[in-house]
Structure 1
Amino acid sequence: MTRIIMSGCTGKMGRVITAAVKEKADCKIVAGIDLRVPEQSEYPVFSSPEEMQIEADVVIDFSNPTALPSLLRYAEKSGMPMVLCTTGYSELQVAEIKEMSQKVPIFYSGNMSLGINLLIELSKKAAQVFGNAFDVEIVEKHHNQKIDAPSGTALMIADSISSVMEESPKYVYDRHSFRHARTKNEIGIHSVRGGSIVGEHEVIFAGHDEILTISHSAQSKEIFAMGALNAAVFLAKQKPGLYAMSDMLRD
């Protein structure tokens, strides 16, 4: 049985994971962390990791980038593995995550969906085949309450495509500010925010007289919840290091 601490337990994803864990026999949530401590909860909730005196195997974080420093301090002190699902980290924070992964196991992914990770692999393959003969544009759509833009997933896709290109491309986020033709060495990334869209990502490879589009649409947040729970069970057995969805799929 994998004992989980849920960071961001009163948020939307925290509540979805709390509900989803009831369908898994191999794990349970033993405590939560959230600035908003509810009057009633299925498990004890603390306002910070420092307050906890709970035995557990792994932390799942679906909260806010501002929570990262306290989580990393807790990880270093306790040796607790961390599944980090929060998006919107700065470059400095990503560097801190990588540094801490040398001491404790850390699973870091901007998207916990199996389908999205397959989209990434297909996009990498397309980029290898097309080279610079096709222009690459990424469009991501999310609900109107999402704060960060572009999404962490869109950046994951762009970074993966960039990794197989001969020359690192420039990311262009705001094309209306340019008054010149599109260059070959760039990836356009576009954000849409509206309604209750769970998450949609589209990768467009536009060539001469032909277009290849690879897309993924999330129908509910449950797919991310189950991915996070599977990652927690996987990570609790690992040695220090930085892990991603591709590692779990190979396991």
Structure 2
Amino acid sequence: MMVNNAPIRLALVAPDGRMGKAIALAVAEDSRFALDQNDADVLIDFSAPSALSATLERAMNTQTPVLVGTTGLESDAKAALEGAAKKVAVLQASNTSLGVALLADLVERAAHVLGDDWDIEIAEVHHRNKADAPSGTALALGEAAARGRSHPLRAERARDGTGLERQRGTVGFAALRGGSVAGDHDVMFLGPEERLILSHRAESRKVFARGTLAAANFLRGRMPGLYTMRDVIAAL
């Protein structure tokens, strides 16, 4: 079998954005990758929800695998991603950190073992400029917990007021914004007389950039389909 030693060429949809710059720095430090905006092996989009349609169209027209890391996507995005995945490999990730991918796996396993007798609360902190809340990562962790419990996610968001009553089997979300926090996530399992807390701290955008490169390595030459970071860590 021939081994392809050529660098994996990446095209960035938003090269001047925060993540675009972080990925460019990561590529500069890793000879396995190169930037090529015109002829890429993998297309990477960390831009805005409004750009998703054009990104997927470009990926399908050029038969290029695509990583979509944009958060705050509208409800119709799922259908668009699934449609594109019939023609090219599509990896959708609200967070490309390998640590967060492992955290989601642990959350699913814990939720399965502990069941609805334990309440689940997810708290996240991000920088003051983040426009969506809860974060896409927090929601993905909530979905992981729901998979572990084998039922759809039932979320309790933005609690306020009096006379509130927590519903059994729900997942609570709390979003905090301020400063320059890259991303903190805590998943709390609150049971009778004990608590289990699973946490992740992103100290810089480098962790997301490194995970993006791992995802790009996974995507190059991949058959059409809809993938997640769970597939990436399973292949490591």
Matched, 1:22 2:6: no
**1:178 and 1:186, CA in 2 relative to 1: closer, same or farther beyond 3 A?**
farther
Separation in 2 of the partners of 1:241 and 1:231? 14
What is the one-letter code of the residue matched to 1:188?
G
Look up the SS of the partner of 1:149 in the other structure: coil
Matched, 1:63 2:69: no
Moved over 4 A (4+): none
**Conservation of the 8 A alpha-carbon contact between 1:106 and 1:240:** yes
Aligned to 2:131: 147
Separation in 1 of the partners of 2:10 and 2:63? 14
Q: How far did residue 27 of structure 1 move?
A: 1.1
Look up the SS of the partner of 2:160 in the other structure: helix
Matched, 1:206 2:178: no
| Aligned alpha-carbon RMSD (Å) | 1.3
Look up the SS of the partner of 1:217 in the other structure: strand
The 5 Å alignment of 1:163-182 reads 163-177=147-161, 179-182=163-166
Aligned to 1:73: 57
Q: How far did residue 191 of structure 1 move?
A: 0.3
**1:167 and 1:239, CA in 2 relative to 1: closer, same or farther beyond 3 A?**
closer
The 5 Å alignment of 1:113-128 reads 113-128=97-112
Separation in 2 of the partners of 1:241 and 1:65? 21
Look up the SS of the partner of 1:125 in the other structure: helix
Look up the SS of the partner of 2:96 in the other structure: coil
The 5 Å alignment of 1:84-103 reads 84-103=68-87
- Which ranges of structure 1 fall in alignment gaps of 5 or more residues? 32-53
What is the one-letter code of the residue matched to 1:157?
L
What is the one-letter code of the residue matched to 1:247?
D
% of aligned pairs identical? 37
The more displaced of 90-99 and 155-164 is 90-99
Aligned to 1:10: 16
The more displaced of 148-157 and 70-79 is 70-79
What is the one-letter code of the residue matched to 2:32?
D
Separation in 2 of the partners of 1:76 and 1:65? 18
**1:214 and 1:62, CA in 2 relative to 1: closer, same or farther beyond 3 A?**
same
1:40-96: CA deviations, max 9, x gaps? xxxxxxxxxxxxxx2221111111111101111112211111011111112211221
**Conservation of the 8 A alpha-carbon contact between 1:58 and 1:232:** yes
Aligned residue pairs total: 229
1:148-201: CA deviations, max 9, x gaps? 111100010001111121443420112115633211121101100010111000
Separation in 1 of the partners of 2:151 and 2:62? 42
Aligned to 1:162: 146
What is the one-letter code of the residue matched to 1:66?
S
**Conservation of the 8 A alpha-carbon contact between 1:167 and 1:185:** no
Q: TM-score, normalised by structure 1?
A: 0.88
Q: How far did residue 230 of structure 1 move?
A: 1.7
Separation in 2 of the partners of 1:99 and 1:176? 39
Separation in 1 of the partners of 2:233 and 2:101? 10
**Conservation of the 8 A alpha-carbon contact between 1:105 and 1:238:** yes
Look up the SS of the partner of 1:68 in the other structure: helix
Aligned to 1:50: none
Aligned to 1:107: 91
**Conservation of the 8 A alpha-carbon contact between 2:142 and 2:153:** no
